[in-house]
Amino acid sequence: MAVAARKGRTTASPHASITTAAWPGSLDSWLSWIPLPKWALITVAVAVAILLLLFLICIVRCCCSKKKRKKKERIGLCAVSNSTTTSLVQPEMEDLEWRAEQKQRGKLQYSLEYNFRTQELKVGVKQAVELKAMDSGGTSDPYVIVYLTSDRKKRYETKVYCKTLNPIFNESFTFQVPQAEVSESTLVMQVYDFNRFAKHDIIGEVRLPLASVNLQHVIEQWSDLVVASKVEEEHLGEICFSLRYVPSTGKLTVLILEAKQLKRMDSHGLSDPFVKVHLILNRKKWKKKKTSVKKNTLSPYFNEVFVFEVPFSQIQNVDVVISVWDHDKMTKNEPIGKLFLGCRATGNQLRHWSDMLSNPRRPLAQWHVLQPPDVVDRALGLKSHLKLPLHSR
């Protein structure tokens, strides 16, 4: 039995060595080539594993942070505590609003030609493109007002072009400007959006100091429209009235409806307004009627109608002058503002007159901005000190 036991041990030991030393034996043979102890090798392996793990973590975090920056890049500057740094990098809200107002107002093409012999400045309003849409339908009804700062009372208006953001005007206006005053004048071209029943909105303007322009030759150029300057001429007020003409009977009906925001003429800050309606035939004084006086108000309501007999053969030769006056018992009545309509008129006045002739027997109401009286008188060829006959029909 001892022999059997010995044989069992001798036969079992080889199998045990084979089963337990197969994998460690191959690892030991591979590690035997590295002249380091096992504990050092294990330490290096752990360190390499940690470094790889940290490297993977860094890559993941970098990718995530880039995505977050893209989403929050507009508000990232809010975290900057230094106000000086923030102001240098991030603009103020007022600046952002100003830049937003300046954008997308459009461009205006114009020409300038100065005649040194006659001392006349000819301004050509050519066209506008990409105007800002002012109406709910995504368009505008643009027209241009042109004047010089040296003589604000003399203003020209182009025709109104309906429902377009790219109007072609091709109109020219002449200003009498002495050569000595050229360098002190600024040319102003304002683009408005026409509105029949409300105040006209300004789209933008071009202000061109003539001192910065070489008028030795003809100039034609484009300029960006900018926000209109707050420094404007005195506002005289607005008036609303309707016109109706019946060709078959020769009846011209003028209905004075109301006025608003009139100039203050009295010491207590109000006025006593009334309206005169004159008819000029062939540049000669013809007929006149007037409304009642409304006391102590800058926004009077009249709703008074006047009927004139104007034969159809004469309607093209008639000018209708609407003037608002301040009544004064003790002194002379003072004019607040005027305007005139007819075939010789321009801008909104000409449009209103043309619409009346195109729609016979139909009353058409419209608001108009009052102009300085002497400007209207000069345009009509009348002298400011002359009065029309007091009789009326």
Contacts of 323 (CB under 8 A, 6+ apart): 275, 276, 278, 335, 336, 337, 338, 339, 373, 376
What's the pLDDT at 197? 73
Pull the structure tokens for residue 138. Answer: 């995504």
Residues in the chain: 393
Q: Which residues pair with 76 in a beta bridge?
A: none
The residue whose two tokens read 């106000």 is: 83
What's the pLDDT at 205? 92
∠ CA 50-52-54, rounded to 5° = 70
The residue whose two tokens read 């507009």 is: 74
Spatial separation of the C-alpha atoms in residues 43 and 303, rounded to whole Å:
103
Spatial separation of the C-alpha atoms in residues 300 and 388, rounded to whole Å:
24
DSSP 183: T
pLDDT along the chain (393 residues), means of 10: 45 44 53 66 80 82 57 39 38 48 80 93 95 87 90 83 94 90 88 82 91 89 86 76 94 95 80 94 88 93 95 92 91 91 88 92 92 85 48 41
Domain 104-225 and domain 237-380 have a common topology = yes
Q: Residue 144: which of 203, 195, 198 has the closest Cα?
A: 203
The residue whose two tokens read 């303007």 is: 205
**Domain limits, the chain:** 104-225, 237-380
Q: Which amino acid is at 183?
A: S
Note the helical H segments in the chain.
2-31, 38-72, 83-89, 93-102, 179-182, 347-358, 373-380
Pull the structure tokens for residue 82. Answer: 């230094």
Q: How would DSSP label each residue in 129-157?
A: ESPPP-STTS---EEEEEEETTEEEEEEE
SS3 state of residue 55? helix
Give the homologous superfamily in CATH for domain 237-380: C2 domain (2.60.40.150)
The β-bridge relationship of strands 219-224 and 107-115 is antiparallel
Regarding the domain delimited by 104-225, which CATH topology (the fold level of the hierarchy) does it fall under?
Immunoglobulin-like (2.60.40)
Spatial separation of the C-alpha atoms in residues 346 and 336, rounded to whole Å:
21
What's the pLDDT at 63? 67
**What pTM value is reported for the model?**
0.47
What's the pLDDT at 270? 85
Kindly list the distances between the CA atom of residue 124 and the CA atoms of 88, 108, 265, in Å, as whole numbers in the listed order. Answer: 43, 11, 37
